């Protein structure tokens, strides 16, 4: 066969495989036997090996490909992936409906969808070709898992139309795939996955795509990141369009005219849930009209136009075998129930938090008791109550210790607290937990320094405080188990990169009592340098809106300790940044900028500025950036493909700028 005929044959084979794959994996209506699909695949592989120039990115042969990665690259979502607020009962849903009607009137409809229990992902297509896939991450920054997502056969590598679009969905592991995976792991003597959600997340974060391919994942698409770009005017219309493009959407959805219809839909699926071939943990309810969604807007974390109803927690009975104690980084002693393994809401549960001694006394919990447990919100195992009438007399009372289980120091109960604490600053457990906190994502975010590696370094006495992390050498790390040349190089690079973090990351990482990530950012913005913060007074601190008496006392006490002063000096000597690198917001009264006191909405795609960058610059000049257009909006900045927000701004007579005007004003 000559090259021209081969090229034509390759196209025919590729089209056939895409068609058969769509029928099998999306429609669940295979039109040919598996043997015929395999025969065509082998022929295509043969021609692509003979003529590599005919191999394309969207070829079905490319679903398991790509080299094994050393680490995942970070990806900034063009449109943030927000989380959903929760509803747990009928009243929560009726309150949600009331808020919606008060805001946009009574002419509304909802779309109800099954809440798939998996991993949220974002898929980006350019001119119809799949180019990138990412995890949700923190909603703004995710991880590039493109090669792993390609292994999901229901996800199209090329769309039926040459559109550029970003879509959102839930990757999941079907129940049958989960059972087969755990059966195989059991035979190999490997630890079993607790539930399909964990298994799906673990599979998509494998550095080797071949492992992900073997796990037989699936995906349902549930939304479009930029629906205005395709001219959609409703969420349901957007889902129908995704079907046309060749995506797999969940057909068990319904458009509901009233909240009573929504409640009926929920009741039906509460009963039918066990019959599904995949796990769900609730129902998602969304306002259908995109114009009404825009009018309702979002909070910092979630859209006001959607809510997730969570199924009532499943309750089961098991035996409480023992109570184990752990020491947190702040010295709090936490008792944990060790349970006879039992399955709850699709997960095998062996541990449940008991919080503190008062709760144990209040619920009259004894070791050996039969207990009722549930998963609060289908996530956290919790002991509901004891079945006292089933006691045999062999149960044993539990008493909290008087001394720390790690360092033997005497425990104390601080005024106004129910928790027992170890206040020994040299307690090994506290130091270890503090180290784990320091390297965590919201703190210094040192990739590769997870809990296991930190525990190993601590046990080997290679680190005893956070400053020691910056003294680690290649030779020391190479001696650790499971640490190869490449892993060590990546880890050393990550440690070096963390030195450039802005001050708020370091402040949060230091674990100052009561100072969370948000308070750390406020302190960094206010004082700008570690030196200024360390020498501040309680009076100066409580003058800041978000800082109360207790937090101010905690901050002052921390910086008065000699150990803290020495630690900071060691970090300075290691080259760790001590300054705030972000923009410092100013009040409208302080700013003479055109943005001062104005509410600005950004819409469409900005070509020169990232959305977050533009937001920070506007807020630094005393402006407020909102997510939706209303009568209170002063200004709309419209980039490419601006949709309903621009239309609404024009209808309301709101001033509209393009990106060039925005940049010009920011530069003044």
Instruction: Indicate the domain borders of the chain.
Output: 3-63, 85-310, 315-412, 428-498, 503-573, 599-666
- Cα distance between residue 617 and residue 215, in whole Å: 44
What is the rounded CA–CA span in Å between residue 315 and residue 321?
Answer: 18
Q: Report how far residue 439's alpha carbon sits from residue 466's, in angstroms, rounded to the nearest whole number.
A: 9
Burial class of 643 by CB neighbour count within 10 A (0 to 12, 13 to 18, 19+): buried
Q: What's 599-666's CATH class?
A: alpha beta
DSSP lists the bridge partners of residue 126 as 129
Structure tokens at 617: 């610059």
Give the pLDDT band of residue 556 (cuts 50, 70, 90).
very high
Q: Is the pLDDT at 644 greater than 60, yes or no?
A: yes
- C-alpha distances (whole Å) from 76 to each of 324, 423, 466 are 41, 41, 29
Tokens representing 165? 């679009």
* Residues ≥6 apart with Cβ < 8 Å to 501: 444, 445, 576, 577
Question: And the tokens for 642?
Answer: 């601006």
Name the band, by pLDDT with cuts 50, 70 and 90, for residue 538: very high
3-state helix, strand, coil in the chain (%, to 5): 40, 20, 40
Q: Which CATH class is domain 315-412?
A: mainly beta
The closest of 552, 227, 197 to 348, measured between CA atoms, is 197
Give the span between the Cα atoms of 244 and 526, in whole angstroms: 52
Distance CA 171, CA 152 (A): 9
85-310 and 503-573 share one fold: no
Average pLDDT over residues 421-428: 86
> What is the pLDDT averaged over residues 315-324?
93
Cα angle, residue 595 at apex, residues 590 and 598 outer, rounded to 5° = 95
Q: Is the pLDDT of residue 308 over 80?
A: yes
Average pLDDT of the residues in 351-360: 87
Question: Which of 49-53, 109-113, 209-213, 444-448 has the highest average model confidence (pLDDT)?
Answer: 109-113
* Pick among 3.30.70.1380, 1.10.260.40, 3.30.470.30, 3.40.710.10: CATH of 85-310: 3.30.470.30
Side by side, the strands of the sheet bearing 218-224 are 129-135, 119-126, 165-172, 218-224
Where is average pLDDT lowest: 30-34, 196-200, 318-322, 509-513? 30-34
The number of residues making up the chain comes to: 668
User: In this structure, what token pair is assigned to residue 294?
Assistant: 């825009």
Between β-strands 421-422 and 635-638, what pairing exists: parallel, antiparallel or unpaired?
unpaired
pLDDT (0 to 100) of residue 440: 92
Instruction: Spell out the CATH class of 428-498.
Output: mainly alpha
DSSP state string for 30-55: --S-HHHHHHHHHHHHHHHHH-GGG-
Angle at 595 between CA 589 and CA 599, to 5 degrees: 100
Q: How far apart are CA 198 and CA 642, in angstroms?
A: 38
> Percentage of the chain with pLDDT > 90?
49
Identify the pLDDT of residue 229: 64
Distance, CA of 242 to chain centre: 24
Which is nearest to 335 in space by CA: 351, 355, 309, 313?
Answer: 355
CA distance 114 to 112: 7
Enumerate the β-bridge partners of residue 142: 75
pLDDT (tens digit per residue) in 154-180: 999 999 999 999 999 999 999 999 988
Residue 106 has pLDDT above 60, yes or no: yes
The candidate with the shortest Cα–Cα distance to 554, out of 517, 514, 521, is 514
Greater confidence (123 vs 210) lies with: 123
Q: Which residues face 616 on adjacent strands?
A: none
Structure tokens at 178: 């989960």
Is 434 a residue whose pLDDT tops 80? yes
- Between CA 588 and CA 621 the distance in angstroms is 8
First to last CA, the chain: 67
Q: Which residues contact 130 (CB under 8 A, 6 or more apart)?
A: 57, 58, 123, 124, 146, 149, 150, 155, 156, 157, 158
What does the DSSP 8-state code read for residue 69? Answer: P
Q: CA-to-CA distance for 522 and 519, rounded, in angstroms?
A: 5
User: Tokens 């297509």 appear where?
Assistant: 125
Contact 423, 469 (CB under 8 A): no
Half-sphere exposure of 565 (CA within 13 A, CB side): 8
Q: Is the pLDDT of residue 67 over 60?
A: no
Predicted pLDDT of residue 379: 56
**pLDDT, average across residues 302-307:** 93
Condensed to tens digits (0 to 9), the pLDDT of residues 469-521 reads 999 999 999 988 878 888 899 999 999 999 999 999 999 999 998 898 878 98
Q: Are 297 and 626 in contact (CB under 8 A)?
A: yes
Q: Classify domain 3-63 by CATH number.
A: 1.10.287.610
Task: Select, from the ranges 493-507, 534-548, 652-666, the one with the highest average predicted confidence (pLDDT).
Answer: 493-507
Please write the tens of the pLDDT for every residue from 34-47: 678 778 888 888 88
pLDDT: which is higher, 6 or 470: 470
Helices (H) then strands (E): counts for the chain: 24, 22
What's 252's DSSP letter?
-
Return the pLDDT at 28: 65
3-state secondary structure 346-409: CEEEEEEECCCHHHHHHCCCCECCEEEEEEECCCEEEEEEECHHHCCCCCECCCCCCECCCCCC
- Nearest 5 degrees, angle CA 229-CA 132-CA 127? 45
pLDDT tens per residue, range 390-414: 999 999 999 999 999 999 999 998 7
632 catalytic, yes or no? no
**Residues 218 and 272: beta-carbon distance below 8 Å:** no
Give the CATH H-level superfamily of domain 503-573. 5' to 3' exonuclease, C-terminal subdomain (1.10.150.20)
Q: Which residue has the higher pLDDT, 492 or 199?
A: 492
Q: Find the catalytic residue in 29, 74, 107, 115.
A: 115
- Structure confidence at residue 227 (pLDDT): 77
Contact 358, 400 (CB under 8 A): no
How many angstroms separate the CA atoms of 319 and 373, rounded? 10
Longest dimension (CA), the chain: 87
The mean pLDDT of the chain is 87
Tokens of 636: 């709309």
Indicate the SS3 state at residue 279: coil
Share of residues in the chain with pLDDT > 70 (%): 94
Q: Which residues contact 319 (CB under 8 A, 6 or more apart)?
A: 339, 340, 368, 369, 370, 371
């Amino acid at each position: 066969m000559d090259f021209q005929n081969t090229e034509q044959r390759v196209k025919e084979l590729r089209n056939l495989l895409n068609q058969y794959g769509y029928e099998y994996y999306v429609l669940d209506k295979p039109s040919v036997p598996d043997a015929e699909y395999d025969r065509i695949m082998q022929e295509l592989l043969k021609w692509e090996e003979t003529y590599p120039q005919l191999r394309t990115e969207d070829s079905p042969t490319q679903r398991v490909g790509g080299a094994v990665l050393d680490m995942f690259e970070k990806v900034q979502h063009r449109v943030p992936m927000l989380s959903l607020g929760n509803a747990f009962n009928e009243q929560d849903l009726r309150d949600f409906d009331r808020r919606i009607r008060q805001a946009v009137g009574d002419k509304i409809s909802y779309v109800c969808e099954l809440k798939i229990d998996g991993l949220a992902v974002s898929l980006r297509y350019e001119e119809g070709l799949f180019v990138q896939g990412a995890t949700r991450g923190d909603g703004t920054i995710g991880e590039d898992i493109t090669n792993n997502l390609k292994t999901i056969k229901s996800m199209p590598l090329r769309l039926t139309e040459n559109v550029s679009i970003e879509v959102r969905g839930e990757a999941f592991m079907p129940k049958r795939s989960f059972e087969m995976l755990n059966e195989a792991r059991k035979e190999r003597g490997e630890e079993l996955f607790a539930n399909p959600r964990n298994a799906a997340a673990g599979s998509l974060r494998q550095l080797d795509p071949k492992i992900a391919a073997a796990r037989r994942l699936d995906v349902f698409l549930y939304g479009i990141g930029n629906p205005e770009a395709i001219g959609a005017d409703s969420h349901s219309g957007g889902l129908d369009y995704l079907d046309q493009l060749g995506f797999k959407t969940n057909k068990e959805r319904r458009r509901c005219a009233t909240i009573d219809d929504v409640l009926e839909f929920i009741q039906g699926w509460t009963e039918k849930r066990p019959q599904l071939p995949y796990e769900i943990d609730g129902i998602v309810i969304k306002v259908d009209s995109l114009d009404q969604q825009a009018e309702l807007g979002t909070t910092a974390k979630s859209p006001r136009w959607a809510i997730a109803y969570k199924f009532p927690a499943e309750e089961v009975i098991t035996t409480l075998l023992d109570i184990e104690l752990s020491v947190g980084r702040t010295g709090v002693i936490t008792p944990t129930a060790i349970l006879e393994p039992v399955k709850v809401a699709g997960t095998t549960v062996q541990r449940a938090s008991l919080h503190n001694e008062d709760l144990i006394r209040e619920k009259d919990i004894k070791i050996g008791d039969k207990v009722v447990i549930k998963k609060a919100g289908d996530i956290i195992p919790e002991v509901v109550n004891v079945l006292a009438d089933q006691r045999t007399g062999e149960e044993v009372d539990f008493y909290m210790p008087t001394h720390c289980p790690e360092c033997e120091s005497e425990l104390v109960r601080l005024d106004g607290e129910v928790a027992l604490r170890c206040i020994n600053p040299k307690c090994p457990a506290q130091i270890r937990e503090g180290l784990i906190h320091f390297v965590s994502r919201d703190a210094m975010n040192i990739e590769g320094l997870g809990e296991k590696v930190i525990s190993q370094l601590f046990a080997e006495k290679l680190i005893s405080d956070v400053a020691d992390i910056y003294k680690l050498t290649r030779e020391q790390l190479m001696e650790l188990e499971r640490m190869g040349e490449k892993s060590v190089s990546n880890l050393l690079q990550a440690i070096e990169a963390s030195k450039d973090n802005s001050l708020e990351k370091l402040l949060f990482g230091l674990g100052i009592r009561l100072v969370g990530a948000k308070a750390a950012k406020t302190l960094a913005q206010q004082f700008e340098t570690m030196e200024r913060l360390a020498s501040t007074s309680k009076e100066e601190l409580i003058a800041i809106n978000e800082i109360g008496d207790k937090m101010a006392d905690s901050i002052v006490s921390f910086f008065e300790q000699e150990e803290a002063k020495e630690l900071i000096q060691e970090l300075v000597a290691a080259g760790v940044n001590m300054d705030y690198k972000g923009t410092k917001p100013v009040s409208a009264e302080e700013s003479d900028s055109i943005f001062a006191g104005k509410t600005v909405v950004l819409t469409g795609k900005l070509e020169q500025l990232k959305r977050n960058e533009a937001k920070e610059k506007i807020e630094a000049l005393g402006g407020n950036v909102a997510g939706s257009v209303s009568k209170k909006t002063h200004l709309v900045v419209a980039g490419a493909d601006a949709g309903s927000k621009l239309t609404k701004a024009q209808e309301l007579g709101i001033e509209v700028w393009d990106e060039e005007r925005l940049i010009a004003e920011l530069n003044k």
